[in-house]
Amino acid sequence: MTRLADLNNEALSALAEQLEQELELVSGNRLSLDLTRGKPDAEQLDLSNGLEAAIGGNYIASDGTDTRNYGGLRGIPEARELGAEIMEVPAEQIICWGNSSLSLMYLSVDLLMESGIWGDARRWGATDAPKLLTPVPGYDRHFVLTERLGLGMINVAMNDAGPDMDAVCKLVGDDASIKGIWCVPKYSNPTGCTYSDEVVARIAELPDVAAADDFVVLWDNAYAVHDFQFPRRPLANLLELAERAGTADNVLLFASTSKITHASGGLGFVAGSPATLNALEARLSASSVGPDKVNQLRHARFLGGRVEEHMANHAAIVKPKFEAVQQVLDQELSDLDIATWTKPEGGYFVSLDVRPGLAGTIGKLAADIGLALTPPGATFPYKDDPQDRNLRIAPTFAKLEDIKTAMEVLVLCVKIATIRDEISKR
Amino acid sequence: MTRLADLNNEALSALAEQLEQELELVSGNRLSLDLTRGKPDAEQLDLSNGLEAAIGGNYIASDGTDTRNYGGLRGIPEARELGAEIMEVPAEQIICWGNSSLSLMYLSVDLLMESGIWGDARRWGATDAPKLLTPVPGYDRHFVLTERLGLGMINVAMNDAGPDMDAVCKLVGDDASIKGIWCVPKYSNPTGCTYSDEVVARIAELPDVAAADDFVVLWDNAYAVHDFQFPRRPLANLLELAERAGTADNVLLFASTSKITHASGGLGFVAGSPATLNALEARLSASSVGPDKVNQLRHARFLGGRVEEHMANHAAIVKPKFEAVQQVLDQELSDLDIATWTKPEGGYFVSLDVRPGLAGTIGKLAADIGLALTPPGATFPYKDDPQDRNLRIAPTFAKLEDIKTAMEVLVLCVKIATIRDEISKR
């Protein structure tokens, strides 16, 4: 196949007809395919069934805590050590809490709005129209959380090495109402990019660069160990860089075991400076007598010291699915010059950019024949993709053979929508 | 012994001297006794070690959900059924979430402040100086939570059959800034009283009686099944009564398994009308992809259908400790007429009222010789017991023999402080 732009009108019409026939054939199969959510599949979940035997009747943590009883607001030592293994920050700078890092992010942003985390008068909610920077495309739940808590959002472009830092620095330097930035620094959702060392270093300095005196980096390292190859790809250490830059009170780091062990039954982690951990602990103590330390012990005993080995087993399941996605995209779309896509080496997503104005149409076309995609626009704040061009592909949950079929359907939809568009514009 | 008031000055001084000698002897033993917190002891926790084997390799819930994966914001069916068994409300009116009912209370009050739960403009935070009624003595964590979320508190007396409802009705009828009431309806913390049918019926009507149009009953049924005898003592059904009274959108009911299974590793429950559950679910979905359903399944399989049997095993451990408390109080304080105390038939606490002005002194006297009591004042908002007379005794965590010793020390302190006071006032 040649570039679409090089086809004359006649060839284009013939191609459209042929592809629509193919689509009709496919839709006759009553598809029920789903590439929507970043969920592990059952085989991945099975890797962690050993959790159930990990307690072995001994509920006492390494510091003598009976994990079954109340208390322990920061989590037991071995769970915080597990966090350290995943996040590459010292265990004593980690709180292990709950089953969801998203909940910890919500709690943190809420705290920043209502009370601040510095023991002084600074709180975002007392300022005029506070907002967060949102590199796009990004993670829909960050956007929903931000909007719900009453913050505005300002988009900034996501490049292959992370957010466009020149744009970021200019924005936060000029506008004191910009209070923070959302980051998924490794295998970012959805592009799969990993922030370069230079980008991380510049992010560590952002609280100093910012016009706001209460700027916070929200570092959601959801895919810290979710590589396809090991030893894992390094990521510059934000907390260390922030300590060196004197901005450690203005970075909060998050991670969880949700896509490491059982997605619903894992552990959440938040890390930061001693001062911010104190503020978080005080907030947690107002609403709880402590986290589920039994599950912490279960996880620490099952996973502690062997996170990479465990993640390599995930990779063996996940990587072929990503390869299938790339194979179909390469084979079907490379020559046409009608789309670009990312080639992540880890994480849960592939980001596909089609021609502007066509993402919604393609999503609808796919849905009509039984292929569910993450709703176009979801990767942008307010579900508004200004160019209507980004599609997120989440290939982990479906079976390998279904992913191939789903991708074939998807590229068919991309081609048809693009050709129709090309014809209508000539 | 006779009533203290009947002793002449000489007899009083002699008694004081004798008791102080006894105290000196005791303090020579370097005590380390603790009656502070309502925690289960290790023997109680052992009753639930069967939780670990309850999954048995089968993670699929009754509705086909793989509990290991994301999702399921209301909890799995069998966990909600377990909630129904404890709370006596229909499973479909329950959300099972997290490991802590306190967290669900915090979330609910926060939601009532910020967004409301009725899908309209009503939100407490938009009104002038919102407050909650706090029956006293009461649960310290309710007070801390309320203060933290920016609400005021107004005390109302707790009687043997529940809050003084005449006072409650007058207060909420007169003052629209009173937005709700905290209730621990069964074996209330710390008095151990259970609300009478009449009190519950009047509470169900409170949202109608209230001057506020956004009044909410916060029904923390923490000790719903924590009886010393079975079948369990009945409690009038608030949700049914509220449905009949047309106030169901204005009651929120809470419970947990924290003092049923493992205190840190249990399940929290919140129940309410369909409309309020929708509001809670929307809030939860903004901060999480779902609760720990594996732990829900574990609990449902371990405990479902046999809650009372399980609680009878708790009672066999806890009841003798409460009897020891009563025995010492009866034997040492009955005749003197210097204190009154409650005789709960369940729950985790005994409430001891000494002469006004002496609780703090007694707490200090006890602390000095190594007996830790819940800090006097803690059972009141802002840690302010206006009469400085209430002490909370929490006898579950300590060993039976230590409880006897601790109680003997406590009554010694009560007597000495009271006699000193009596002498100083003559």
B402-423 average pLDDT score: 95
CB-based contact A72 B264, cutoff 8 Å: yes
**Partner residue facing A288 (CB), from B40, B103, B290:** B103
- The verdict on B71 touching A (C-beta cutoff 8 Å) is yes
Residue type, B401: E
Identify the burial level of B404 via C-beta atoms within 10 angstroms of its C-beta, where 0-12 means exposed, 13-18 middle and 19 or more buried: middle
Q: Which residues of B touch A70 (CB under 8 A)?
A: 37, 39, 258, 263-264
The pLDDT tens digits for B154-209 are 999 999 999 999 999 999 999 999 999 999 999 999 999 999 999 999 999 999 99
Residue A75 CA from chain centroid, whole number: 24
CA distance A391 to chain B (A): 21
Tens digit of each residue's pLDDT (9 = 90 or more) over B245-285: 999 999 999 999 999 999 999 999 999 999 999 999 999 99
Looking at residue B426, its pLDDT comes to: 85
Domain boundaries, chain A: 4-44+309-425, 61-305
Q: Kindly report, residue by residue over B40-80, the tens digit of the pLDDT.
A: 999 999 999 999 999 999 999 999 999 999 999 999 999 99
**Which ipTM value was assigned to this complex?**
0.96
Quick check: A292 contacting B, CB < 8 Å?
Answer: yes
The pLDDT > 90 percentage for chain A reads 95
pTM, full prediction: 0.97
Q: Can you list the alpha helix ranges (DSSP code H) found in A237-382? A: 238-245, 274-287, 293-303, 307-333, 359-368
B98 at interface of A, judged by CB pairs closer than 8 A: yes
Residue B59: list chain A partners with CB under 8 A: 45, 49
Show the low-confidence residues of chain A (pLDDT under 70).
Answer: 1
What are the structure tokens assigned to B414, written together? Answer: 């009560």
Q: Do B264 and A67 touch (CB under 8 A)?
A: yes
Residue A371, C-beta contacts closer than 8 angstroms, at least 6 positions apart: A31, A33, A34, A35, A406, A409, A410, A413
Structure tokens given for B248: 């169901």
Residue A103 near chain B (CB below 8 Å): yes
**Spatial separation of the C-alpha atoms in residues B133 and B92, rounded to whole Å:** 29
pLDDT at A30 (0 to 100): 72
**SS3 assignment, position A207:** helix
Q: Which of residues 124-183 of B touch A (CB under 8 A)?
A: 141, 144-145, 148
Q: A81-95: per-residue pLDDT in tens? A: 999 999 999 999 999
Q: Which stretches within B90-248 are classed as H helix? A: 101-114, 140-148, 165-174, 197-209, 238-245
pLDDT of amino acid A33: 87
8 Å CB contact between B123 and B114:
yes
Mean pLDDT over residues B296-310, rounded? 98
Pick the CATH number of B4-44+309-425 from 3.30.870.10, 3.90.1150.10, 2.120.10.30, 3.90.850.10: 3.90.1150.10
Q: How far is CA A409 from CA A26, A329, A337, A372, B109, in A?
A: 8, 11, 18, 11, 48
Q: Do the Cβ atoms of A100 and B40 come within 8 Å?
A: no
CATH architecture of B61-305: 3-Layer(aba) Sandwich (3.40)
| Closest CA relative to residue B171, chosen from B201, B132, B216 | B132
pLDDT at residue number B1: 59
